[in-house]
Amino acid sequence: MRILVSNDDGVYSPGIACLARVARRFGEVRVVAPDVEQSAAAHSISITRPVSYRQTPIFGEIEGYRVNGTPADCVALGLFLWERVDVVLSGINLGPNLGYGIWHSGTVAAAKQAALLGVRGIALSTSVVHDEPDFAALEPHVERVLSALLPVDDLPLANVNLPPSPGAMRWTRQSARAYDGKVVPGTDPMGRQHYWFTVEPTIQTEPGTDLWAMEHGDISITPLVLDVTDHGELERLRAEHPLDPEAAP
């Protein structure tokens, strides 16, 4: 099995080192990741400048490359330069990617870019409790997740979140109740106003969601789709608000 590994925290993140190490037990691994942190870069690509692809020795026997681009750039380039990739793994992100937050996620976007190109994509993220997650302790659980998901070859896109001391693995849906994004004003040392984009933890969680699973100390695995059409609404709108008849399907 040929596995491309990327992330949005950058090629020097301890999370990608852990993921590459575990992935190596399942097949041939190549790491292609941003040279600097690209968290919250979402699914952006670099179209106004070329990107570079430079080898880095930091993964030892695993081939590694750093790219001065976004997570989606890295996956697009990685799949262009390495043929017959079976799966793209993205992460392990330092911080969870849950609920509406996944719209901003570069970690999830890297997996989405794989799915756009017809390759399976799996995003992995974990909570940061203290300064840094304990990736050595997390390793067997990451292996458990990959053992469960890699054989499922009819799952094109999945978003995995691991709590610090993971329990059971659960299939979940994206929490879609509340957006936790927040703008917080502050003042710089010169007394000028500035603003931080941050998150406010969601209080209420619904059973069966990604947030709920993580709150209960379980591993959340959410299947995602690339089609964002609201198919239920589409039918209703066609019936209740017909537009120009000549434009009807």
**Interacting residues with Mn ion (CB under 5 A):** 8-9, 39, 93
**In this complex, which beta carbon is closest to Mn ion, that of residue 68 or of residue 86?**
68
Closest approach of Cβ 39 to Mn ion, in Å? Answer: 3
Return the closest-CA partner of residue 19 out of 76, 79, 74, 59: 59
What the block records as the tokens of 155 is 């799952």
Would you say 39 or 126 has its CB closer to Mn ion?
Answer: 39
CB of 7 to Mn ion, least distance (A): 7
CB-nearer residue toward Mn ion: 57 or 182: 182
> Least distance (Å) from Mn ion to the CB of residue 89?
14
Q: Toward Mn ion, which CB reaches closer, 36 or 152?
A: 36
DSSP string, the chain: -EEEEE-SS-TT-HHHHHHHHHHTTTSEEEEEEESS--TT-TT----SS----EEE-TTTTSEEEEESS-HHHHHHHHHHHS-S--EEEEEEEES---GGGGGT-HHHHHHHHHHHTTSEEEEEEE--SSSS--HHHHHHHHHHHHHHHTT-TT--EEEEEE-SS---EEE-B---S---EEEEEEE-TTS-EEEEEEE---S---TTBHHHHHHTTPEEEEE--S----HHHHHHHHHHS---GGG--
Q: How far is the CB of 124 from Mn ion (least distance, A)?
A: 11
Cβ closest to Mn ion, residue 124 vs residue 211: 124
Rounded distance between C-alpha atoms, residue 197 and residue 165, angstroms:
28
Q: Which is nearer to Mn ion, 196 or 246 (CB)?
A: 196
CB of 37 to Mn ion, least distance (A): 7
Shortest Å distance, C-beta 127 to Mn ion? 13
User: Sign of the CA dihedral 112, 181, 70, 161?
Assistant: negative
Whose CB is nearest to Mn ion? Answer: 39
Q: 9 or 218: whose CB is closer to Mn ion?
A: 9
Q: Which two tokens stand for residue 84?
A: 């017959």
- Minimal distance, residue 184 CB to Mn ion, in Å: 19
